[in-house]
Structure 1
Amino acid sequence: MKKYFGSNKPRVILKKGKAKPFWYHHPWIFSGAIQEIKGNPEDGDIVEVLDEENRFIAKGLINHKSQIKVRLLTWDQHEKIDGNFFRSKIHQAISLRENILIMRSKSSAYRLVHSEGDGLPGLTIDRYNDFLVVQFLSTGMEKRKEMILDILKEQLKPQGIVERYPAGYREKEGLVEIDCMVHGKTPPKMTITEYGVKFYVDLQKGQKTGFYLDQRENRLLLTRYGYNKRILDAFCYSGGFGVYMLSKARPGEVVFMDSSSFALDLAQENASMNSTATAVFSKKDIFKEIPEMEKAGEKYDMIVLDPPKVSPDRASLLTGTEALINLNKHAVNMLPPGGILATCDCSGNISWEDFFKIVNKAVLDANRSLKIFETLGAGPDHPVNPACLENSYLKVIVAAIY
C-alpha cells in the first residue's frame, strides 16, 4: 500500500488501531478515531484519510462542527469527487429503482437516493409523482447543493424540487435551519398510489419528506392478518397501516390514533378516499395515555405500534429504551391470547438485538408470552450498506401474543 510523504493535500490521520472499520468501508469517522488533521481543510472540503502508518484508506468530506467528522465517499485513491462522481452515483441509484426494482409498478412515490445505502452519505432524495423531495444533511452535500440540483433536473426533469428537514437536523451539522424550500414549481397537495391504495400528501407540511415511504411493503404484508379483526393503528399519522387494512383486509373495525389533529384529519381523508367501511379516529398522546387505555379495559385483536424515533442520539438511548418497553407492555395487555402485535422502531441507535430484548422484556413484564413470526425492515428502495448497519434503522416485529 502506498504511503504518503510530504503531501500537501488535506489529510486526516487516524489513531493507531482505529482504521479497521474504514478498511471495511464504514463511511463515518468520529472525532475519537482521529489523531491529526493536516492541511487546514474547511468544512465540506475533500480530505484523504490515512492510517497511523500513512497508508491511504479513503477520501471523504470533512465537517469540524459535526459529530461525524468525515463522511467517506470513495476508497479509490485515483477517483475524483467531482460532478461526474455525483452524476454517476445518482444515475446508479435511479437505475436500481427504475430498472431492477421497477418501483413505478408498485408506487408513484419512493426513495431514489438513500444516503449511505447508495454511497452518498448525507443525501436523501424521494420521488412523489413528478416532484422530488431532497435533504442535504451534511455540510459536504450542502456545499454541492446547486451541482446536485442541476444533476437531478438533468436526469429526472421534475416539475419541482422541495427541500424538507426535521427540526434540529441541520443545526447538528452547523447548517442554517430550513423547514421548507422550493426550487421550481410549488407542489400542490397531491395523491400518491401504493399497490392500488391512495394517499393525500402535502410535501410542504407532512412528516419526514411527506410520507413514510419506508413502511410501504410492511403495510401491504400486514393486511394478511387483518380480516375481521378490531385493529388499533397507533401513531397512525396519515393512516398508512389502517388505510391499507380498510382497503385490502376487510377488518371488523379500525381505530386510528395520533396526538396530532392535522394527522388525524389527513387519516380521515385517506380512509374515506379508499373505503366506505366504518373507522374511528381518536386523538391521544399514546405514550402518556396508554396506561389509562389499558386500565379502562380497551381491547383489540391486532395492534400496530409505529412510534416516532425515541432515541435520536446515544444520550437518549436509555430513556428511549424505557419508553418502548412501557409502550409495548401496555399494548400487549390490550390483546387477547392469539392477538397480534406489530411493533416498530426507527431509531438507528437501537440495534435489532436491542429491539428483540426490548420486546421480550415488555412481554415478560406484562406476564405474557409471544411467538414472533415476521421480522421486517424498510422497503427495497432503502438499500442497506452492510458496513453501516446504523443506516438500517427500521425494525418491525410481528408476533402472536399469549
Structure 2
Amino acid sequence: MASMKLTGKGRRWVLGGHPWIYRDDISAGTAQAGDLVQVVAPTGESMGWALYSDASRIALRLVTRDEEQPTREFWMQRVQRAVDTRARAGMLDPEGACRLIAGDSEGLPGMVVDRYGKVAVLQLGTQGADRMGEFLVELIREALPFELDAVVNRSDTAVRKLENLPKQTEVMQGSVTGPIEVRDGDLLYAVDVFQGHKTGHYLDQVDNRRRAALLAEGERVLDAFAYDGLFGIRAALAGASEVLCLEQNKAACERLVVCAERNGVADRVRVERVNCMKDLRARAEAGEEYGLVILDPPAFARSKRERAGAERGYVELARRGLALTRTGGSLVSASCSFNIKTSDFRGFLASAAHLAGRDVWVEQMTGASPDHPELLTLPESSYLKCAFLRVD
C-alpha cells in the first residue's frame, strides 16, 4: 500500500485538525490517482489514511486518523452514520428529498449524494471519489431503509477539471424518464436531475424557505433570483396575498409556472423573466413596496480574488431590497459564497441599511439545512448565510 510522508509543516497542519493536506506539505511518496494511501509523519509514525489526487492542490483528503487501513466495514459505518443522521432528523420520507451524504464534512471526501424520492444522484468531485462511485452506491443501497428506483451520476461540476476528470452525466442503475416529483410537507415540486442546478435542486435552503413562509401571511412577496420559485410558492401556500418571482433562466421560469399550478397557487404567483439586479432598481425607483422581500442570488465570490467586487454587489443588492421593503416588513437575504464570512455578510447588510436610511434588526442568522452539516475542523463546509431582517 502506498504512503505519503509529510513535511514538518504538514504534520503540524494535520495535528491542527484540518482534513485536507496540500501538495507542498508532502515530502515523499508516490501513488496512483485516487489511491487510498497511508499518511506518515516525517519521523515515520502513521497519521491516518487519505484519498490521493495527482492533480489537485489538495493532494490528500483524510478519511481517518487511525493507524488501521479502512476496510469495507469502515466505509459502511461512514455511510450508515450519514443515513442515520438523516433518519433522526426525519429526512428519510421516500417521497421527500435530502442531501444523503455531504462529502468531506462527513468523512467521505468528494462524495456528495442527494436523494429525490427514490432516486439517488451522485456528484463525485475528486479522483478518489470517482474511483469509489459504484462501491458507494452499493453501500447506500445497503444502508437505506427502502429500495432505490434509480441512481444517476451527475458529476459535471467545474471542480472536476482541477482533478483532471471529465464531466459525466449518466444513469448508473434503473431508469429516469422525466422530472422526479418530490413532496416537502404541503409543497410539491419537480426536479430535473439532468439539467437542473447542482444535482437538480437547492436542498440547502429547505429550512430557510419554511422560515420565510412564516413571515408571508397576508403580505405581498417579492422573490428575487427565484430559480424554481420555491421560496415564493411556499410563501403563497402560507397565505401570501400575491407573490412576484424574478428569474432570468428561461427553463427555471417555465418550471416555476408549472410548480405554481401544481400547488394550486397560480392565481397568486407571477413570474417575470428579467435581469434581477436591473429590475430591482427599476422597481425601487417606481416606488413599489412589499411586506416580504427575498434575495437569494448565486455566489458573488467564487474565489478570494472576487471578494471586493462581491462586497459591492451584496451591499447594492441589499440596498435595493431594503428600498422595496415596506416599513415593518421583512427582508430575507442570503449568500452562498464560502469566501464571504458571516461577519463580512453582516457588515455588508449594515452598510446597505445605512445607505438606505433604514433601521434594520437581525431576527435570525441561519445557515444550510441540517443535511448539509458543518464540520468544525473544515471551515470550508460552512458557506450559506441567510439573514432574516426586520425593517423600519
Q: Is the shorter-chain TM-score for this pair beyond 0.5, marking a shared fold? A: yes
Residue 347 of structure 1 deviates from its aligned partner by 1.5
Find the counterpart in structure 2 of residue 5 from structure 1.
none
What is the SS of the residue equivalent to 1:361? helix
Residue 305 of structure 1 deviates from its aligned partner by 0.7
For the structure 1 residues 338 and 168, does the alpha-carbon distance in structure 2 shift closer, same or farther, using more than 3 Å as the test? Answer: same
**RMSD (CA atoms):** 2.1
Q: Provide TM-score, normalisation by structure 2.
A: 0.92
Find the counterpart in structure 2 of residue 324 from structure 1.
314
Contact kept in structure 2, 1:259 and 1:284, CA below 8 Å: yes
For the structure 1 residues 176 and 138, does the alpha-carbon distance in structure 2 shift closer, same or farther, using more than 3 Å as the test? Answer: same
Residue 105 of structure 1 deviates from its aligned partner by 5.0
Residue 321 of structure 1 deviates from its aligned partner by 2.6
Q: Is 2:187 the counterpart of 1:231?
A: no
**Percentage of identical aligned residues:** 26
For the structure 1 residues 316 and 50, does the alpha-carbon distance in structure 2 shift closer, same or farther, using more than 3 Å as the test? Answer: farther
For the structure 1 residues 20 and 399, does the alpha-carbon distance in structure 2 shift closer, same or farther, using more than 3 Å as the test? Answer: farther
For the structure 1 residues 175 and 349, does the alpha-carbon distance in structure 2 shift closer, same or farther, using more than 3 Å as the test? Answer: same
- What one-letter code is carried by the residue in structure 2 that aligns with 1:126? D
Contact kept in structure 1, 2:98 and 2:115, CA below 8 Å: yes
Within a 5 Å distance, the mapping from 1:301-340 to structure 2 comes to 301-340=291-330
What is the SS of the residue equivalent to 2:59? strand
- What one-letter code is carried by the residue in structure 2 that aligns with 1:125? V
Q: Deviations over 1:120-140 (max 9, x none)?
A: 121111111111011111111
Q: Is 2:22 the counterpart of 1:30?
A: yes
Find the counterpart in structure 1 of residue 248 from structure 2.
259
Q: Is 2:117 the counterpart of 1:125?
A: no
Any unmatched runs of 5+ in structure 1? Answer: 1-7
For the structure 1 residues 292 and 143, does the alpha-carbon distance in structure 2 shift closer, same or farther, using more than 3 Å as the test? Answer: same
What is the SS of the residue equivalent to 1:280? strand
Find the counterpart in structure 2 of residue 91 from structure 1.
80
**Which of 131, 134, 158 is the equivalent residue of 1:143?**
131
Contact kept in structure 2, 1:297 and 1:334, CA below 8 Å: yes
For the structure 1 residues 12 and 311, does the alpha-carbon distance in structure 2 shift closer, same or farther, using more than 3 Å as the test? Answer: farther
Contact kept in structure 1, 2:223 and 2:246, CA below 8 Å: yes
What is the SS of the residue equivalent to 1:216? helix
Q: Deviations over 1:62-115 (max 9, x none)?
A: 21311322111101112x2343322221111112212x1121359611111111
Q: Is 2:264 the counterpart of 1:271?
A: no
Find the counterpart in structure 2 of residue 175 from structure 1.
165
Partners in 1 of 2:26 and 2:173 — Cα distance?
44
Partners in 1 of 2:201 and 2:96 — Cα distance?
12
Between 1:44-53 and 1:144-153, the stretch displaced more is: 44-53
Residue 240 of structure 1 deviates from its aligned partner by 0.9
Find the counterpart in structure 1 of residue 185 from structure 2.
195
- What one-letter code is carried by the residue in structure 2 that aligns with 1:143? R
- What one-letter code is carried by the residue in structure 2 that aligns with 1:127? R
Within a 5 Å distance, the mapping from 1:6-25 to structure 2 comes to 9-16=2-9, 18-25=10-17
Find the counterpart in structure 1 of residue 140 from structure 2.
152
Contact kept in structure 2, 1:49 and 1:58, CA below 8 Å: yes
Contact kept in structure 1, 2:95 and 2:118, CA below 8 Å: no
Partners in 2 of 1:401 and 1:19 — Cα distance?
49
Residue 167 of structure 1 deviates from its aligned partner by 4.3
What is the SS of the residue equivalent to 2:51? strand
Between 1:163-172 and 1:251-260, the stretch displaced more is: 163-172
Partners in 1 of 2:95 and 2:225 — Cα distance?
23
Q: Provide TM-score, normalisation by structure 1.
A: 0.90
Q: Deviations over 1:5-38 (max 9, x none)?
A: xxx942131343x544522432122345x151x2
- What one-letter code is carried by the residue in structure 2 that aligns with 1:149? V
Find the counterpart in structure 1 of residue 194 from structure 2.
204
For the structure 1 residues 20 and 285, does the alpha-carbon distance in structure 2 shift closer, same or farther, using more than 3 Å as the test? Answer: farther
- What one-letter code is carried by the residue in structure 2 that aligns with 1:345? S
Find the counterpart in structure 1 of residue 51 from structure 2.
61
Contact kept in structure 1, 2:94 and 2:118, CA below 8 Å: no
Contact kept in structure 2, 1:27 and 1:121, CA below 8 Å: no
* Count of aligned residue pairs for this structure pair: 388
**Which of 339, 342, 345 is the equivalent residue of 1:349?**
339
- What one-letter code is carried by the residue in structure 2 that aligns with 1:25? G
